[in-house]
């Protein structure tokens, strides 16, 4: 049984995704390291350093299914890293003529770091694809409910009227930015690591920089201006991005949970028979996807400090911080992709009840229009006096259980200046949406 539930056969159905689990599995990591070793041999063959026949044999040997995992585990336990044992096995698989050219001029961290970069490239592509689908689903909701009026809430209390389309656009805008942020970040993360023992490539003499460039081209990665053995900002940025994305998803999940409360009932996750049920309460439809967005986000947020702490690398090769990264990177990406997929399920199946929104909007008898009334009276009474008058009318409306419009009619300074129908119009929340719909359109326009 795995220590982390996200890696299990049962709980793994709730945490993460199979696609990301495969991308960051140990088998995938071993294959990626072999891919780097093979790419290095091919790059050096093109530069005339390694015989072409040797490069071909090394490439043929780069097959994770041919590894003796028990022997590799024993070697890793002894050495502290898997690369030494991996290279030895690749030497045996490549044959005696090619064996001496395996790992030529490289160091352990070159192979491991570049292998992780290849995993990150795959992981970021998975996240990007599903994030785009999530954004399209949210955009559809924003368009459909662009003018669906509802109560906006601050401190969990009625504040001013908004539209549901506006609320969804508030969810969507950071996610559009997340796509931009991801695309901007990828060149900083998807860089080859190749520096040799201390990062100077001294083992390759005058050909070091040429091998560095050719290896980057072979793997489809960017060149680095200098080996980043002890400069871990790219790795840390990737996990920090995951933390930011999960934070934005947490906002959506939190709002949907609050909107789906029995007493609110304005929106809810799509219902599937048995989903979100209780073992004792047959009526329950719990917001399961929302809950797992929040759970996975908290897991990712706990891993961000670990990556930041691992940036404190000593001298030209770290003594511990680097080893802490594998405990965070794969899990952060797994949970992030899981959170994105749960958010997609929420957005693509969200059940919205505009009728309940209107009912809740009217629940306070017009008190949600208090600022609207105050601003309407301010040009006549002055802002301070208007605030005082409306505040008093709100108190009367609450104490007597009457609509705000009726309470305002009892205020002498208001009754002397306005007819009842004018007061009623001033208390109509549909007349006080400001730029809610225009803001929604601005977010939607960013997708085009």
Q: Is 317 a catalytic residue?
A: yes
Task: Write the DSSP assignment of 145-185 as a string of letters.
Answer: TTT-EEEEEETTEEEEEEEHHHHHHHHHHHHHHHHHHHHHH
> Does residue 351 sit in helix, strand or coil?
strand
The single residue of 66, 77, 278, 298 carrying the catalytic annotation is 278
Neighbours of 352 (CB within 10 A): 18
As given in the structure block, the two tokens for residue 101 are 């050219």
Q: Is 278 a catalytic residue?
A: yes
Query: Do residues 127 and 182 touch, judged by C-beta distance below 8 A?
Result: yes
Question: Exposed, middle or buried: residue 11 (CB in 10 Å: 0-12, 13-18, 19+)?
Answer: middle
Query: Do residues 390 and 409 touch, judged by C-beta distance below 8 A?
Result: no
Q: Which residues contact 422 (CB under 8 A, 6 or more apart)?
A: none
Run of H or E residues at 268: strand 267-268
Would residue 122 be called left, alpha or beta, if left means φ above 0 and alpha means ψ between -120 and 50 degrees? Answer: alpha
3-state DSSP percent of the chain in helix, strand and coil, to 5: 65, 5, 30
The single residue of 46, 317, 356, 446 carrying the catalytic annotation is 317
Residues noted as catalytic: 278, 317
């Amino acid at each position: 049984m795995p220590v982390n539930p996200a890696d299990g056969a049962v709980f793994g159905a709730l945490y993460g995704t199979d696609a990301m689990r495969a991308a960051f599995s140990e088998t995938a990591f071993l294959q990626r390291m072999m891919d780097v070793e093979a790419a290095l041999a091919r790059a050096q063959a093109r530069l005339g350093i390694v015989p072409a026949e040797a490069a071909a044999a090394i490439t043929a040997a780069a097959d994770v299914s041919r590894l003796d995992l028990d022997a590799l585990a024993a070697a890793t336990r002894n050495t502290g890293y898997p690369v030494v044992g991996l290279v030895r096995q690749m030497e045996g698989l490549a044959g005696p003529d090619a064996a001496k050219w395996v790992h030529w001029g490289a160091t352990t961290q070159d192979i491991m770091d570049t292998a992780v970069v290849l995993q990150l490239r795959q992981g970021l592509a998975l996240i990007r694809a599903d994030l785009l689908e999530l954004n399209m689903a949210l955009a559809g909701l924003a368009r459909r409910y662009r003018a669906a009026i509802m109560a906006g809430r601050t401190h969990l209390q009625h504040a001013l009227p908004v539209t549901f389309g506006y609320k969804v656009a508030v969810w969507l805008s950071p996610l559009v930015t997340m796509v931009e942020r991801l695309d901007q970040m990828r060149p900083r993360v998807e860089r080859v690591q190749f520096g040799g023992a201390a990062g100077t490539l001294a083992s390759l003499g005058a050909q070091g920089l040429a091998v560095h460039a050719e290896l980057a081209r072979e793997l489809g990665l960017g060149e680095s201006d200098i080996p980043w053995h002890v400069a871990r900002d790219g790795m840390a940025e990737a996990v920090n991005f995951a933390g930011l994305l999960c934070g934005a998803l947490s906002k959506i999940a939190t709002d949907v949970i609050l909107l789906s409360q029995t007493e609110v009932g304005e929106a809810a996750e799509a219902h599937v028979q048995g989903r979100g049920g209780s073992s004792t309460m047959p009526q329950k439809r719990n917001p399961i996807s929302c809950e797992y967005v929040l759970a996975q986000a908290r897991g990712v947020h706990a891993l961000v400090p670990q990556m930041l702490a691992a940036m404190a690398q000593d001298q030209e090769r770290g003594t511990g911080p680097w080893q802490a990264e594998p405990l965070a990177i794969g899990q952060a990406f797994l949970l992030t992709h899981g959170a994105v997929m749960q958010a997609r399920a929420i957005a693509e199946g969200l059940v919205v009840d505009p009728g309940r929104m209107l009912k809740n909007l009217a629940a306070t008898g017009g008190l949600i229009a208090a600022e609207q009334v105050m601003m309407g009276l301010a040009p006549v009474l002055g802002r301070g006096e208007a605030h005082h008058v409306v505040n008093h009318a709100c108190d009367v409306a609450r104490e007597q259980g009457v609509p705000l419009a009726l309470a305002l009619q009892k205020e002498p300074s208001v009754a002397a200046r306005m007819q009842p129908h004018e007061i009623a119009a001033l208390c109509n929340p549909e007349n006080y949406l400001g730029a809610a719909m225009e803001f929604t359109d601005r977010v939607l326009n960013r997708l085009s």
